[in-house]
Amino acid sequence: MNQPTHSSTEAALQHYKEGLGAFTQKIPAVAEKFNAFTKACFQKGALSQKEKQLIALGISLATQDEYCTIYHTKGCIDQGATEQEILEACSVAVAFAGGAAMSQAVTLVQECIAELTTKH
């Protein structure tokens, strides 16, 4: 049987979505409020959605959160951020978080960009 091929980025995003779905079923009051809160945080305001995604990516790198790094790299791309904008946001995170953020920026973020911008 032929299984569709998925990138590591797509697999990680799917794993997160499945986990969130299971968590939401088990504790909906918390999950639904958290999801509503984060949705409100990422709405366009004084900052654009792209700017908010770039900030979130930097924070994800600084806190060494791989799932959020993948999720927000995708968010940056979805909001029209260029590779240069993404890498500059990464460099700011590296300035604050040092080597740990750098290791994720030069591996995970670049893998996500390559996988998410390549046409299948």
Q: What is the pLDDT of residue 120?
A: 47
Q: How far apart are CA 2 and CA 21, in angstroms?
A: 27
**Is the pTM for the entire model greater than 0.85?**
yes
Q: What is the pLDDT of residue 7?
A: 86
Residue burial 13-41, b: 16+ Cβ < 10 Å; e: rest: beeeeeeeeeeeeeeeeebeeeeeeeeee
Q: Average pLDDT by consecutive 10-residue portion of the chain (120 residues)? A: 70 93 96 96 98 98 95 97 98 94 94 84
